[in-house]
Chains A and B, each alone.
Chain A
């Protein structure tokens, strides 16, 4: 079984739409993260959740909102999609905020 899984793997949508990316981890970890990888392959933290509490919230637009129904899931909701949102989004998890992070395979979002 995949430790950190993301769905969908590819997401193509129009500007202005609202979309969600799901992330699930079966490692029993307490902390989950979302990273954005831009077209130049630069990776940057967006959010992290520890025991369902937001502990890091980088300066991302408020159109992006993480939602965690339980500690095994951290979904990323994006409202009013813009062209600049096109990127690969990676979910990750760790046992605690100070532990090693394990990454999912990524979701390639293309906004047309």
Chain B
């Protein structure tokens, strides 16, 4: 079974400050990892993904995430946020074998304060 935990339901941060959104997962099998972003009243958009290789992955809009297998984490970071980054961020995993479901965390609401 898989589960994803996003410890922070809301993260307020001032504009141009750095931000880290935390994601931890548990799984009995190896997984692929994803971050999706949901802007207000819009669908989910893929931000970045980790499939294999380098554990530091870069995504769109200046975001990056680092896969840490020993800590089963995939935290999302951005060195300097903008107002336009205000959105809901979802961490998700998908098993490498078996069912191809995406399992989502409960989301983190990032609010960038001017």
Q: Please judge, given known A-B contacts A56-B99, A105-B42, whether A100 and B107 are in contact too, CB under 8 Å.
A: no
How far apart are A58's CB and chain B's nearest CB, in angstroms? Answer: 8
Distance in angstroms between the alpha carbons of A90 and B43 in the assembled complex:
7
Residues of chain A whose beta carbon lies under 8 Å from any beta carbon of chain B: 4, 35, 40-45, 48, 55-56, 58, 90, 92, 97-98, 100-106
Q: Please judge, given known A-B contacts A100-B49, A103-B43, whether A43 and B90 are in contact too, CB under 8 Å.
A: yes
| 6 examples of A-B residue contacts, CB within 8 angstroms | A41-B106, A42-B107, A43-B102, A90-B44, A103-B45, A105-B41
- Asked if B104 CB lies within 8 Å of chain A CBs, one says yes
Interface size on B, residues (CB 8 A): 19
How far apart are B6's CB and chain A's nearest CB, in angstroms? Answer: 10
- Give me 10 other A-B pairs in contact (C-beta within 8 A), A42-B104, A90-B44, A103-B45 excluded: A43-B44, A43-B102, A48-B101, A56-B101, A90-B43, A97-B100, A98-B100, A100-B34, A101-B102, A106-B43
| Contact status A102-B100, CB under 8 Å | no
Closest B residue, CB atoms, query A108: B41
Partner of A48 from the list B42, B46, B100 (CB cut-off 8 Å) is B100
The 0/1 profile, CB within 8 Å of A marked 1, for residues 95-109 of chain B is: 000011110101100
Distance in angstroms between the alpha carbons of A44 and B92 in the assembled complex:
11
Closest A residue, CB atoms, query B101: A45
Within 8 A of A (CB), among B8-65: 34, 36, 41-46, 49
Closest B residue, CB atoms, query A31: B100
